[in-house]
Amino acid sequence: MTHSACKGITPDDPRFAELDAFIQDGRASADFLIAVLHKAQQLFGYLPEEVQRHVAAKLGLPPSEVYGVVTFYNYFTLTPVGKYPINVCMGTACYVQGAGRILSLFERELGIQPGQVTPDGLFSLEVCRCLGACGLAPVVTVAGEVHGKMTESAALKLVAELRERAAAEQAEAGKAVATVGGEAQ
């Protein structure tokens, strides 16, 4: 784990104070450690080394124990995750069907590399080994949803659709705020 993975999180980040307030309400135990890690991931979006060390110090646990729990449960993540996490399968079946080209397209279109998140927080990119759907190679998942027989044009369309969906959701949220504001007057 490198410090570059934790870019943007400094010790005076106000989210640490919120995490500490949560920690004060509980006692060190295996269950409480998991609850604290959930809270930390909710606040920071992922669990980089700085956050894990902070949790370990606050709970009086060895950092290795915290790291062990973070890596044991697959709902904890060590890398930033976007609203739409994209996972490109680079297993053998997908690779021979052109997964490398699909990955390059996502990298170009989103301007990020695997392990990174777009500046607007919409997309993150990961690669993985066989997803168990080789008959649909090349396979991509978006937020856990499987998209098989992926082509470069389908990948471009997918990104465009997700951008549109996010913009529509944002517009809807803006409308709801305006409505509440209007009703309050």
Residue 133 Cβ, how far from ligand FES at the closest point, in Å?
A: 5
Q: Report the residue number whose CB is nearest to ligand FES.
A: 91
Indicate whether 86 belongs to the interface with ligand FES (CB under 6 A).
no
**Residue closer to ligand FES, measured from CB, 33 or 94:** 94
Angle (CA) 163 165 170, round 5°:
95
Indicate whether 47 belongs to the interface with ligand FES (CB under 6 A).
no
Q: Return left, alpha or beta for 132; rule: phi > 0 is left, psi -120 to 50 is alpha, else beta.
A: left
3-class DSSP state of 119: coil
Indicate whether 56 belongs to the interface with ligand FES (CB under 6 A).
no
Q: Which residues contact 77 (CB under 8 A, 6 or more apart)?
A: 41, 46, 47
Residue 88 Cβ, how far from ligand FES at the closest point, in Å?
A: 9
- Which of these segments, 114-122, 124-132, 153-161, 173-181, binds ligand FES (CB under 6 A)? 124-132
Q: Which residues pair with 117 in a beta bridge?
A: 124
Pairing between strand 123-128 and 84-89? parallel
Binds ligand FES by CB under 6 A, chosen from 112, 131, 140, 158: 131
Binds ligand FES by CB under 6 A, chosen from 55, 66, 94, 103: 94
What DSSP letter does each residue of 18-54 carry, written as one string?
Answer: HHHHHHHTS--SHHHHHHHHHHHHHHHSS--HHHHHH
- Which of these segments, 71-79, 133-141, 163-171, 176-184, binds ligand FES (CB under 6 A)? 133-141
Size of the site for ligand FES (CB under 6 A): 12
Indicate whether 48 belongs to the interface with ligand FES (CB under 6 A).
no
Distance CA 35, CA 68 (A): 15
Distances in Å between the Cα of 33 and the Cα atoms of 9, 27, 30, 53, 78 are: 21, 9, 5, 13, 16
Indicate whether 34 belongs to the interface with ligand FES (CB under 6 A).
no
**Residue closer to ligand FES, measured from CB, 19 or 131:** 131
Indicate whether 155 belongs to the interface with ligand FES (CB under 6 A).
no
Q: In this structure, which amino acid lies at residue 145?
A: E
Binding site for ligand FES (CB under 6 A): 89, 91-94, 130-134, 137, 139
